[in-house]
Structure 1
């Protein structure tokens, strides 16, 4: 005889567990502690099995019968309801694992990052976090678990990476809470847990006389034409090393004297407008270097092609390696990125040029008095004049280094 709602509701605990049968294998198990559980008996492959459906009153009599009927349909098709239940539970649990949520967060953030940032974030996740936390549910991860990961990163001397990891933890757990996968907040206790972040200064020569000697060393560099040309253009153009090595011929207009390329998606943590190129005016000296190089690499895509990877451009370490070959310590004296600091300092302090023009040419985000970002095409005539003046100044520096009696009144600091 089928159960009635009133009988289920009024069932009282006894000294021992007992059952109240419904029909088609469904019954209510009344425990001695008063708890009531729905169970279903079924046979599959000649064996009797038991399926736990739920707890009354969370699962009503009607809901228990619906679950029973679905389970019986599966049995009729030769499927095991218990196995299906395990698979559903595993799928739900997988969605709550740290790695699954972290990869969702990464995919959502990816469009807002520069390529280099995206690569660093993925490397941090896969090398420093997933091996220890990836298979853990976000609800089970403690503050101590997170701190242990951070300490492991600190132990290898990567203090800045540890700080980046803490920020990543903050964002991933915030995303997990927003998507209602957890209410856990272990990252909140990490504030102040790490040693202060170190300040890194990229070494750069900013003294004109020492810089002149560097320019002469570049002129006398005994290497391939590709590397010599790359080195010679670094002080003239002072763009980021990663953008220099990836320069493409189709980005260049030698007749107009311009190099147009699209900078990273973010510059100094300020999101840049998509599709607006950065314009680098080319001095006559820069055009001469590129014109001389064109017969060698102009048939390909990249201005500075790789000597090892067919179809690729020069590697990230090309400039620093060449500087080291010339006897410069790139960790202490001058590095590839240092050409930017050299130009920034001397354009301002020696030539006295307008700071906003210099910042524009460095592809930094420059804002007006109202806080609005200038367009990258702003002040192009003035920047074109500045770049030629800079190139001429570098020629004079080299002449002075070779012949100290050379007088250069042209390049007095602007008033």
Structure 2
């Protein structure tokens, strides 16, 4: 008689949830427990996507349908390596998939980046999304701000900094974030891209959203609107690149509009130093020139921008996990087709990986589906030789966590919290008001 396969997934962002979905479709006997160190599911969809992105957040509806399957069990407020360790999971599960993603900021190695007033975009996104493990305060004291990067996260950060707080009131932005943004003295936000307009990583939708605010004038500085053969090839090859370039060119030549805040887009400007004595007093950039293939080189011409805060949005970075190999250069767990490899290049029995910690923090949410499919295919191929978990009762892991004093949350508890947040927002015409403190979330989840 075939034993029912028991699998643990660590991480309830899209990568982990897609993996769980693939797993239960392989056999009606498979059951999955999906763990998260937070009391809530959805990972960066809840705590990394800007609150004024309702269309992107609609992906939650699809993820909800997966987690609502009775063969998938959400277990929150459980940290891998702290509340439950790898060898302990092997008592309860035949296989474990690591899907912890990437939520830290990639470093930017330039002088002065450590000054007060210099921040990581991921940290800022966690704050404005009400992540329970970050401070409730944020020093919004600058009138001019620099954002370094040309991806969707950079655009999100620039937009949130430039918008007025009242424009965000209809979203699920936490009350403490609203109060801080309300008091922000910002007048100008400068976004710097090292390469040209044909090499930007943001999407046309993200770009258009920059210009949707009635209080923000988007200014494209025309001196950076340059193209080489590599740029033209990119525009011919990819429709969304051509769309972004057309939008930027139109903005570069339009008449000025009288709005209280300005968002400046600078292309072919590479940051080389954050200026200041003890805290940020400026940003120095070097003008770049295109080299014919879409890449750039420095010209030796420098500009100092009088900003008082700098936000780097140069990529996310995964974190190493206890008792698992980790490649610090790529920020990934070494693997072959999702099978985690030890230091000798051998497969760690029963251990798998998917998502950004598998392939690096690149691509859109949908790309994690392919990752999950590959990893689950490896599990199915390995099933006959997987180590058999000795404690197969579904309640055994919950009893183990309770004995450790872990106050785990579950799917029914998340639904209570979800309803609670929606009810908090309803009297004010808002979709929800997030509960931020972890202890409050746990209390609500546990009834």
**TM-score for both structures, normalised by structure 2:** 0.20
Larger strand share, 1 or 2: 2
Structure whose alpha-carbon radius of gyration is higher = 1
**TM-score for both structures, normalised by structure 1:** 0.21
Larger helix share, 1 or 2: 1
